[in-house]
Amino acid sequence: MRKILLAILGAAGLLFALAAPASAAQPYIIGGGDATETYSFMVSLDNGCGGSLVSPQWIVTAHHCGDASQGRIGSTDINSGGEVGQIDDVTTDPGTDLTMMHLSQPVQAAPVSLAQDNPAAGTSARLLGWGCVSWPDCQTPSTLQQIDLTVLDSAECADGGGGAGDVCISGDQAHSACHGDSGGPAVIGSSGKWTLVGETHGPGDNGGECATSTLYTGIAQYLTWINQQIGS
């Protein structure tokens, strides 16, 4: 998957790539629809990845997304609206796919709440992103896409490299995250009360690309580290 995503984004910028460079491609959402609300915390990074605003000056995304110079925050349109923040620092929790990007100035958008624990299997989770809406004939949208899928037992994504602290989300050929969604959020809750449970990491199996379950880096297991960066 990682190699495939890299090839797709080339010099430009996986949901299913692991530790890929800044030019790596990211997964998109297949089988979803246009966002039904404006997610104040949703970030479109200029390297082709997604991210989540977790404080006025910090974004959570994927390490395999590499660096970015700016992010558009709180808009459903990838090209306009919201706030554009400049990124002046990037820090990664060693040995993980979890990266935080620091904004040079605070933004006004409301951050997303952070999960204290992983959601139980069977919980409905919402995936967000601007990734491919079809595969293998990839078409990318300008409007933010969303899809509601189901949390699986974390062991279901073990083949994709997931551990007990990560979040595994269901998927199939008609409903899945895909290239272009990397770094973006999996959230639970309801309108105006969303909680970030995962960051898009890659496919849930060892041979898939899109149209498969999706592995999300579990936020709860890194909560202490995330809060340390926010408070630093």
User: In this structure, are 88 and 127 located in the same domain?
Assistant: no
Q: Check pLDDT > 70 for residue 8.
A: no
134 shares its domain with 123:
yes
209 pLDDT exceeds 50?
Answer: yes
| 56 inside domain | yes
In a domain, 73, yes or no: yes
* 131 and 121 housed in the same domain: yes
Structural domain count of the chain: 2
**Same structural domain for residues 96 and 119?**
no
Beta strands in the chain (DSSP E): 33-34, 42-45, 50-55, 58-62, 70-73, 83-92, 98-103, 113-114, 124-129, 145-152, 167-169, 185-190, 193-203, 214-218
Give residue 152's domain range. Answer: 2-12+26-34+113-220
Kindly state whether residue 17 falls inside one of the protein's structural domains.
Answer: no
pLDDT tens digits along 11-35: 333 333 333 333 333 334 789 999 9
Quickly state the pLDDT bin for 110 (edges 50, 70, 90). Answer: very high
Apex 195 CA angle, 55 and 133, nearest 5? 100
Same domain, 104 and 124: no
Are residue 122 and residue 212 in the same domain, yes or no? Answer: yes
Mean pLDDT across 144-162 = 95
For residue 20, tell me if it sits in a domain: no
* Tens of pLDDT, residues 27-67: 347 899 999 999 999 999 999 999 999 999 999 999 999 89
Asked if the model's pLDDT at residue 5 lies above 70, the reply is: no
Same domain, 139 and 178: yes
Q: What average pLDDT does this structure show over 138-163?
A: 94
Task: Let me know if residue 87 belongs to a domain.
Answer: yes
- Judge if 209 and 227 occupy the same domain: no
User: The domain spanning residue 176 has which CATH number?
Assistant: 2.40.10.10
Q: Do residues 43 and 50 make contact, with C-beta atoms less than 8 angstroms apart?
A: yes
Tens of pLDDT, residue by residue over 132-144, are 888 888 888 999 9
Q: State the chain's mean pLDDT as an integer.
A: 87
Residue 81 confidence (pLDDT) above 90 = yes
Residue 107, domain member (yes or no): yes
Q: Show the CA angle centred on residue 37, arms to residues 34 and 41, nearest 5°.
A: 105
Specify the pLDDT at position 133.
87
